[in-house]
Structures are given as C-alpha cells and as structure tokens.
Amino acid sequence: MGAGRSARRAAVAVALTAIVLLTASLEAQEGDVRRSHCAGAWYPADAAALTRDIDKLLTAASPPALLGKPLAIIAPHAGYQYSAPVAAAAYCTLRDRQYSRVIALAFSHRAAGGYHGVDVPATLTAYRTPLGDVPIDRAACDRLLQNRLFSAHADVDGGEHSLELQLPFLQRTVGGFRLVPLLVGRMEAQDYVQAAEAIIPLIDDSTLLVASTDFTHFGPRFGYEPFTDNLPDRLRQLAGQAAAPILACDFDGFRDHLAKTNDTICGRGPVTLLLRILSMHEGTAAVRTGFDTSGQQTGDWRNSVTYQSFVFTQRLGSLGERERTELLRLARRTVEAHLSGAALPNVNVEALPAALRADGACFVTLENHGRLRGCVGNLIAAGPLYQAVMRNAVSACNDKRFVHDPVTSRELDQLNLEISFLTPMKRIDRTEDIIVGRHGLLISQGAQRGVLLPKVAARRGWSREEFLAQTCRKAGLPIDAWKQADAEIYSFEAEVFGEPEPTSTASAG
C-alpha cells in the first residue's frame, strides 16, 4: 500500500511539474505578444460585435476619388463611439488593396516626452486584438534598432491606445500584413530627417504608412482655450488651419502652425514624422476624408476634441506613361550617340505625342549608381520639349563640374537617366509659401543666380530656410541674401521620372 501511494505521489509530482513547465512555456510565449488594453472599453471586446461595427462603418463611408493606391493615412484614435466614423472615412479607401507591411506611427500619451527618439519593440512578436494576432515585422524592427534614434523603452506602450485602436480597422481592410509599431517620442527638427532616412528604405509598393492622432483638444479640461465665442465655427477654422499644411505635405508649414497656435494635437509627433517621410520620399497628393468634433456629437462645447482623417497618394503629373517612356528613350539614344561620337538620333516629329512637340522646360540628370555625373537643364521653355530633352542630355554629358572626370561611353550600361519636366516659374513674395519636396527654387541678385531642383532639398530633408540658404550658396551669394529686398525668388515644380536603376556593377573605369 505504502509503495503504491508513493508511486502515485511521484506520478502526481511529475504531472504537476509538467503542468508548471508547460504553463511557464506558454507564459513565456504569451510575453512576446502585446495583449489588448482597450478591448471592452475603447471598442467592443467581442470579435463578432467588433467586426459588425467596423464593417458597418466602412460600408457607410463614402470613399473619395483618389489618384492612385494610398501611400499613407492619418486617422484618429479616440473611443470608437466618438472617432470611428472619421477613421472609417480613411480606412474605407484601403478595401481591396494589398499591403504586406504597415508602418504605424503612434505615440505614448503618458510617456511621449519622457524619451528621445522613436520606440521600437525589441522582442514583441505580435499585437493582439479580439480579431486575432497581428504579427510584428521583426526584420524591419531589428533593422531600425540599429539606428541610434530608434530604441526600446520599457512600459512606453503599457495601456496605450493610439496604436492599438488602428489595428482592428487594418485587420478588416488590409487583412494579412506585418506590423512595424513605432511610438514617436521627443524629437527635434533634424531628428525627423534621421528617422525618415531610416524608415524610407522600408517603403515599397506594398507598404502602408499610418499616423495616429486626434486634433485640437479644446477647453479647461485640456488647458487650451484660445477663443471663447462661436466655438463650433472657430474649432472648424482651427482644424482647417492644421489641415492646410497636411494637404500640401508641408513639413515646415505644419511645424509653423503648431508654433503659432500651440494647437493641442496629441499626435503631432507621428504627423510631423509622416510629413517629413513623404516630403523626402516622393511627391504626394492628399485629401481630407473625415471631420467631426466631440462637441458636435454631445452638444457640450465646454470641452471638445476634434477628429480628422486624411489619405495620401502619389501626385500625378501632366505627362502620361507613353510620353515619359518616349522622352526617356530619346534621352538614352541621345546620350549613347553623343558618347559614341555618332550623329544624334533622327526624330519622326509627327509621330511624337502632342505634349512632346509643345514648348517645354526640363533638366536631364545622369547618375552612376547614385553618383551624380551630370545635370543640366533650361528653366524657361525655348522650343519643343523633345528638343530640350535632347539638348540637355548632350549638355549633361559635358557638365562643367565634371570636366576633369567626364562621362565616357564605358559608363553607358552604368548610367541611370532622369528627366525633370518643369512648370513655369512663379515669383515668390512670401517664403512661407515654399514647400520642400514640391518646389524648386531660383534666386537671383544682380547678375548672380542659383537654381536647385525640388529633389535636391527633398532628398536632404532640408528645412525651408536651409533650402533658401543653399540656393543662395549655389548662386555664389551670401546664404542670407534671400532676405535682401533686391533678391528675387522664384519657385517651380518638377515632374520627375527616370529609368530603372542599372543592375550592372562593373567599374566605370
């Protein structure tokens, strides 16, 4: 009997040990999953109810006419009873779109000012909502963590809702994707450039950017009462002032708005970083898809939160695919002929699209695996666009800056050609109207003048003032010459398109 009881006790002990080990293993696995903190309070905890509510909102939303596939959205993150319809107005544009990665720019309400840079989870494998687990893109997160501006901070995401509230909408629209969760902390202007430079290599045609923010928090509860009369209209006007630089993808303009108004936009960090990324990455167009206020919903204007949503797409130019392809082909043939000492190509003018036969100004840029080898153009149209492309392609091969290292025929398979088709010059009276990422500049004073294309400032992440200063430097003027009364400042836009990057890695000789 004693031996039997001992055996049973031993068996029970072994079973209990196995259970403890299994439980510990499951808890360890669970520890890598960020559990929902908001389900049951900010949005329904029941999966069926949550699915029904979101799908109903998405169906009721009216998607705006877009120029193409969304690159990014801005959406609010209040409790779904307040902000979900405004969020749905943006998220409905993602239905039937395919994305494999979502980079979510959010923040910590309680700790955003307590750390510098951007928080990236170091060990998380998933975010959990009632609709299931959203896997973390660990490769992307680990890559960002190699940058000194990106680091993991304990408990920054504890109880936070700004990112979590975006996930059910993404799960019901995008479906299967991997998440890069970023919580923006304390940032200076140059930090946004560094963060954008780290994030941009992660962006491709199947990557979506999402910035999470509510807008103005008005009233004594939030310590912000810039006006006391006609509150509905004044709040709408303030929302419009914040929206204007967002719609223009104007990084400097949005920062100017915050500095001038002290607008209590809680997600100012995510929005500012998004605008910096988009202004450095490629030309974008934006539409405002939703607007509302909690004051309008409750009838209580003493304390009110504003909600807005936006969708960003690539900005289209006036030249179609056929026109772009023909100009690039003509530029390539011209460069090949010139560098080989052959006659320039004959052009069947009548067969060209009308836009290429019309007067046009352009720049032609030659690069060898990212290294500039020539860039020459004309700012004012002086004949048909196709002729300008051919003329500037030859001149780019003879760019005076490379007189001691000229382009040669041995580089032909290494060269990447890019064309910037310019809009007419426009005199600038207010430098605040200059948008980095959209505008190029010409500054002249006396006989001296300097020109920089939009992409020069965009790729470097310059501020508006840095752009002005560098254009003055290009003209051989003092960097503050743009402030002088006799300085003339002109802006223009450029429709930029180019060949695919060459795949050959042979030496240029």
More confident call, 465 vs 22: 465
Across 42-68, average pLDDT: 94
CB atoms within 10 A of CB 83: 25
The pLDDT, as a whole number, for residue 295 is 97
**Any bridge partners for residue 466, and if so which?**
none
Across 424-440, average pLDDT: 95
* Rg of the chain on CA atoms, in Å: 28
The pLDDT, as a whole number, for residue 110 is 86
The pLDDT, as a whole number, for residue 433 is 95
The pLDDT, as a whole number, for residue 4 is 52
Virtual torsion, Cα 72, 77, 83, 86, nearest 10 deg: 0
CA–CA distance, 77 with 307 (Å, rounded to integer): 9
Burial (CB < 10 A; 0-12, 13-18, 19+), residue 237, is: exposed
- Say whether 32 sits in a helix, a strand or coil: coil
pLDDT grade for 175, boundaries at 50, 70 and 90? confident
Domains of the chain are: 28-314 (3.40.830.10), 321-498 (3.30.1490.150)
CA–CA distance, 152 with 75 (Å, rounded to integer): 24
pLDDT grade for 147, boundaries at 50, 70 and 90? very high
The pLDDT, as a whole number, for residue 226 is 97
pLDDT greater than 90 at residue 275: yes
pLDDT greater than 90 at residue 27: no
pLDDT grade for 31, boundaries at 50, 70 and 90? low
pLDDT greater than 80 at residue 458: yes
The pLDDT, as a whole number, for residue 343 is 94
Please give the C-alpha separations between residue 211 and each of 118, 275, 402, 482, 491, in angstroms, as whole numbers: 14, 10, 43, 35, 30
The pLDDT, as a whole number, for residue 114 is 86
Q: Determine contact, residues 439/418, Cβ cutoff 8 Å.
A: no
The pLDDT, as a whole number, for residue 148 is 96
pLDDT greater than 50 at residue 21: no
Q: Determine contact, residues 124/32, Cβ cutoff 8 Å.
A: yes
pLDDT greater than 70 at residue 29: no
**First and final CA of the chain: distance in angstroms?**
92
pLDDT digits (tens, 9 = 90+) for 212-235: 999 999 999 999 999 999 999 999
Please give the C-alpha separations between residue 61 and each of 56, 152, 175, 294, 365, in angstroms, as whole numbers: 9, 37, 19, 19, 44
* Backbone φ, ψ for residue 139 (5° rounding): -60, -45
The pLDDT, as a whole number, for residue 315 is 87
pLDDT greater than 80 at residue 144: yes
The pLDDT, as a whole number, for residue 281 is 81
The pLDDT, as a whole number, for residue 339 is 95
Nearest alpha carbon to residue 467 among 485, 449, 484, 442? 442
Q: What is the 3-state secondary structure (H, E, C) of 137-163?
A: CHHHHHHHCCCCCEECCCCCCCCCCCC
The pLDDT, as a whole number, for residue 472 is 98
CA–CA distance, 460 with 281 (Å, rounded to integer): 10
pLDDT greater than 50 at residue 1: no
Give the mean pLDDT of the chain: 91
Across 397-410, average pLDDT: 94
| pLDDT > 90: percent of the chain | 85
CA–CA distance, 412 with 174 (Å, rounded to integer): 42
The pLDDT, as a whole number, for residue 503 is 58
pLDDT digits (tens, 9 = 90+) for 110-124: 887 789 999 999 999
